Structure 1
Amino acid sequence: MATLVAGPSGIDFDNLLISDLLLGDTIEATSTRFVLKDGAWLEEFTGTFTYANDELSGGTVTGWRETEAGELKFDVQGFSVPVATFVGWAETNDNEGARSGILAGADQITGSAFADRMWGYAGNDTLEGGGGQDFLRGNDGDDSLSGGAEFDDLHGNIGNDTVDGGLGTDWVVGGQGNDLLRGGEDDSYDVVYGNLGNDTCYGGDGADWVRGGQGDDSLSAGGGADWIWGDRGNDTIEGGAGADIFFVFGEAGTDRVLDFNAAEGDVVRVEAGYTYSAAQVGADVVVSVGGGAQVVLVGRTLAALGDGWLVGG
């Protein structure tokens, strides 16, 4: 497990380059520290090091800290990579191999108050964007992503992930696996998309766009005038307060809407090109769409719904 902390100005993992190490001059070489300098840049390595003929010859790297003119760029600790492997990455410009090798476990990755571009690799990682407009990807493993303030673009990708947009307008996507997704608790506009798997999606306050994707999902849009799309699978949906649009197309599954409220302006909208009808079935209203999809308005009666709640196109 490695712990990576971004510097105060933010980090972009595409700029975490091990190939730059070949440009530096050695200014310190002990059994526990190896430091390279290239102009204002310092690359400080910790671990256990051995030398032959005054040249680094072996050992293990467990920490890497990069600074420019005294300002931290990043600090990553707690990994374990043989020196020979590290040198091989540098000599072959294998920057992606270095990033994936260092961050191969269940890692803690923390951003800055500014814009960060960060992602995990193998393992169950925790990524915290902090302030700024962040780009976070969990990739493999059951990851936890938190965007923090401002607009964030968050994707859990593979695994059963927990993704929270935080404050500001956010793009929150689960990917593969059974994910728990939250747009955030403020009244900003969030896009929350479960994608594959049986996902739980929360829009939060504000006018949000919440889509389940494939699988049997649970969607709760929260306050505001939301656009809610169960998509494929048999989904359970709560629109919350506000005039919500419940979208359905012909090849969707059977979606159950638990709190449909025509008096608040809720609408079932059928994608253009599909036939549809509504009927009272026991205690519920069932909208049937050509293609096999259904929307069940739990505990509602046709007579009480009035006009304008079911539209096409």
Structure 2
Amino acid sequence: MFGLLGLLGFLVAGMAADAVTNSAEDEDEADLPEDAADDPAPDEGATADLIAQTFGETNPDGMPISDDLPDPVDPDQVIYGTSGSDVLNGGGGNDLMRGGPSGDQMAGGDGADRIHAGSGDDEASGEAGDDRLLGRVGDDSLRGDAGDDVLRGGAGDDYLSGGAGDDLLAGGSGDDSLLGGDGNDVQRGAAGADWLAGGEGDDSLSGGAGNDTLDGGAGNDTLEGGPGQDYVNAGEGDDLLRLSDDTYATGDAGRDIFEVMTPGSSVIADYNAAEDQIVVVFEADASGEPPEVSLQIEGGDALILLDGQVLARVSNGAGLTLEDLQLRAV
């Protein structure tokens, strides 16, 4: 009987024993689980009832008829890495994990987890649940997996993969790789030469500063390269491509809209007059008069000019006319 009660005490009192009570550095401190020592222990008279609730039917002596032990309930946990290279596993529940200064491997498990990378080159996966993964310095690899996740790379050349669900991916500084996966994802590259791939779903991709590569994949996507020499491929679907100063854009299959906004050397590589639309976006002035838009044919291509400045080149666009263009003021 003593052995069973000892095991029962382990199951009850040990449910919160994994919670580490180190003080957190920011707002996550408010989310730490309360100390398990504040919970009252079961009294002797409640033992038989608690055994019945835990193991099922009991015999007259209070012993469980079945010897099949239930799986323990995973509590919410707070887990910190050490100064070495650690392997941290959250298990079930909504866990908070923080890596140390070395390259750690962290897995959140089930639940809505928050995983903070340390200062090394860390690998973190949220697994099931709506997770939040934050990189710091170092070249981090962050995987959201299932659920609607938020991934932020921070400094360094990071790899971010959203997985299934509607995810938010932000690369930060460095040359980052962002992969949306399934779902309607939002991806932001920031500084550096970034690679963004939307995957399935209706995605929104923005390269930010630097020479970026954007691939929308399937779905009706919105893509914007930003400052720098960017390559933008919309992929399948009816997509919106926003061209800035130096963008090489292909719409691929579908009815695509190309927005040209700033003077530069952007190229629309596969404009199809039967399906696609080119929109000239300009900033309205106090007069309310639209600017002068003109076309110039050069070597089989068409140059779109705004007040005499080249906005974009349309490859094989010698048949393009002003009637094919739309104007939109912002």
| TM-score normalized by the length of structure 2 | 0.66
Counterpart of 1:206 (choices 211, 216, 219) is 219
In structure 2, distance between residues paired with 1:42 and 1:162: 30
Match of 1:73 in 2: 95
Which one has the largest radius of gyration? 2
Report if aligned partners of 1:45, 1:63 keep a CA contact under 8 Å in 2.
Answer: no
Report if aligned partners of 1:154, 1:173 keep a CA contact under 8 Å in 2.
Answer: yes
Match of 1:96 in 2: none
In structure 2, distance between residues paired with 1:46 and 1:161: 25
Q: Deviations over 1:216-237 (max 9, x none)?
A: 10000011111101213x2111
Residue 267 of structure 1 pairs with residue 305 of structure 2:
no
In structure 1, distance between residues paired with 2:313 and 2:281: 16
- Equivalent runs, 1:169-184 vs 2, <5 Å: 169-184=184-199
- Equivalent runs, 1:33-72 vs 2, <5 Å: 63=86
In structure 2, the CA distance between the partners of 1:237 and 1:41, relative to structure 1 (3 Å rule), is closer
Match of 2:248 in 1: 236
In structure 2, the CA distance between the partners of 1:284 and 1:22, relative to structure 1 (3 Å rule), is same
Counterpart of 2:229 (choices 191, 204, 216) is 216
Report if aligned partners of 1:43, 1:66 keep a CA contact under 8 Å in 2.
Answer: no
Match of 1:276 in 2: 293
| TM-score normalized by the length of structure 1 | 0.69
In structure 2, the CA distance between the partners of 1:263 and 1:41, relative to structure 1 (3 Å rule), is closer
Residue 258 of structure 1 pairs with residue 269 of structure 2:
yes
Report if aligned partners of 2:120, 2:137 keep a CA contact under 8 Å in 1.
Answer: yes
Counterpart of 2:146 (choices 131, 134, 158) is 131
Residue 157 of structure 1 pairs with residue 172 of structure 2:
yes
Report if aligned partners of 1:43, 1:65 keep a CA contact under 8 Å in 2.
Answer: no
Shift of 1:110: 0.6
In structure 2, distance between residues paired with 1:44 and 1:131: 21
In structure 1, distance between residues paired with 2:198 and 2:189: 12
Structure 1 residue runs of 5 or longer lacking an equivalent are: 1-12, 26-39, 48-59, 82-98
In structure 2, the CA distance between the partners of 1:157 and 1:203, relative to structure 1 (3 Å rule), is same
- Tell me which protein shows more strand as a share of its residues: 1
Match of 1:299 in 2: 316
Report if aligned partners of 2:100, 2:118 keep a CA contact under 8 Å in 1.
Answer: no
Match of 2:207 in 1: 194
In structure 2, distance between residues paired with 1:142 and 1:285: 38
Shift of 1:268: 1.1
Which residue identity is paired with 1:253?
G
In structure 2, distance between residues paired with 1:159 and 1:183: 19
Shift of 1:292: 2.8
Shift of 1:124: 0.3
Q: Deviations over 1:62-101 (max 9, x none)?
A: 6586879x758356677569xxxxxxxxxxxxxxxxx87x
RMSD (Å), alpha carbons: 3.3
In structure 2, distance between residues paired with 1:215 and 1:228: 15
Q: Deviations over 1:248-279 (max 9, x none)?
A: 12x34221111111112x11101144431112
Match of 2:161 in 1: 146
- Of structures 1 and 2, the one scoring higher in RCO (CA 8 A, sep 6+) is 1
Q: Deviations over 1:265-306 (max 9, x none)?
A: x1110114443111211111111123734211112222xx46
Which residue identity is paired with 1:295?
A
Return 188-197 or 288-297, whichever deviates more.
288-297
Match of 1:35 in 2: none
User: How many residues are aligned here?
Assistant: 249
Q: Percent identity?
A: 33
